[in-house]
Amino acid sequence: MIIPSLDFIKGKIVRLYKGNYNKKTFYKVDIYQKIDEYIQQGANNIHLVDLDGSSCPQNRQKEILTIISFFRDRVNFQVGGGIRSKSDIEDLFRAGTKKIVIGTLAILNPDKFKYWLKKYGCENFVLAVDVHINNQKEYKIAINGWKKITTITLDSIINEFLPYGLKYILCTDISRDGTFSGPNIYLYKYLKKYFPHIILQASGGISSLLDLDKLKKNNIEHVIIGRALLESKFTVLEAIQCWQNVL
């Protein structure tokens, strides 16, 4: 499935380069108009990221609830960024959010995430694993809007949550995010090999329809696309048609 992504800071659509808040590009487009455009081109799911919340949970943008409520009957949303509490979770579900994306909290407070998986249902959560690949080619997890690289490995965090029903993973190679350098196919092949039952969302580096072709041929279920759509490398409609036509 093709999932368009919109990141925003203070209500404005933005893209970061390799997750760096000091290297951001703002786009002069209205978020409501852009969501409407994506829906009209065939998007059934949209990924929203509150970058203010990702950087500092106390700065979460409440407007996101209004956006979700406005479009809830037309498209499914998965939402991430600074989600830390039960009230955050329940506010998003009440607004109409279909899936909640949890990253930093799952790393810092795994017991709370395990509880949420059990209480609200594993179908309703996506674990965001943002990966930093070090000089030893180890997959280390980044948190707090990618500002801190932990010693926790990709394998260990997935294995911790599998017994609690974890089903969906959004994996981003942060060295490729916003770069147009192509997706890390090797990383995704690794995940599909060692965690074959996980439903994977690939993110980072998408620049062309050929990238989508490669991901589909490697059995990746979903692709998150942000900057390539905002900068008209291709349209949502073209991406969906490409995805459907890959054999």
All structural domains of the chain:
2-245 (3.20.20.70)
At 177 the pLDDT is 73
Find where tokens 């000091």 sit. Answer: 22
What are the C-alpha distances in Å from 33 to residues 29, 41, 60, 84, 183? 7, 12, 22, 29, 28
At 202 the pLDDT is 96
At 33 the pLDDT is 94
Q: Which two tokens stand for residue 44?
A: 């059934």
| Digitized pLDDT (tens) for each residue of the chain, 247 residues in all | 999 999 887 777 877 665 556 667 788 889 999 999 999 999 999 999 887 655 555 556 578 888 999 999 999 999 998 888 999 999 999 999 999 999 989 999 999 999 999 999 999 999 999 898 878 888 889 887 667 888 899 999 999 999 999 999 999 988 887 778 889 999 999 999 999 999 999 998 899 999 999 999 999 999 999 999 999 999 999 999 999 987 6
Find where tokens 């770069």 sit. Answer: 179
- What global pTM score does this model have? 0.90
Q: Give all strands (DSSP E) within the chain, no chain letters.
A: 2-9, 12-17, 20-26, 45-50, 76-80, 99-102, 125-133, 139-143, 148-153, 168-173, 199-203, 222-225
Cβ 78 vs Cβ 100: under 8 Å? yes
**The CA-based dihedral angle spanning residues 16, 21, 24, 26, taken in that order and rounded to the nearest 10 degrees:** 100
Q: Which two tokens stand for residue 136?
A: 């030893």
Cβ 132 vs Cβ 154: under 8 Å? no
Find where tokens 């994306």 sit. Answer: 101
At 8 the pLDDT is 81
Chain center to CA of 58: 20
Task: Classify residue 212 as exposed, middle or buried by CB count within 10 Å of its CB (0-12, 13-18, 19+).
Answer: buried
At 145 the pLDDT is 63
What are the C-alpha distances in Å from 112 to residues 93, 127, 245? 17, 13, 41
What does the chain come to in residues? 247
User: Which amino acids are annotated catalytic?
Assistant: 7, 130
At 62 the pLDDT is 72
Alpha helices by DSSP H, 162-235? 185-194, 209-217, 227-230
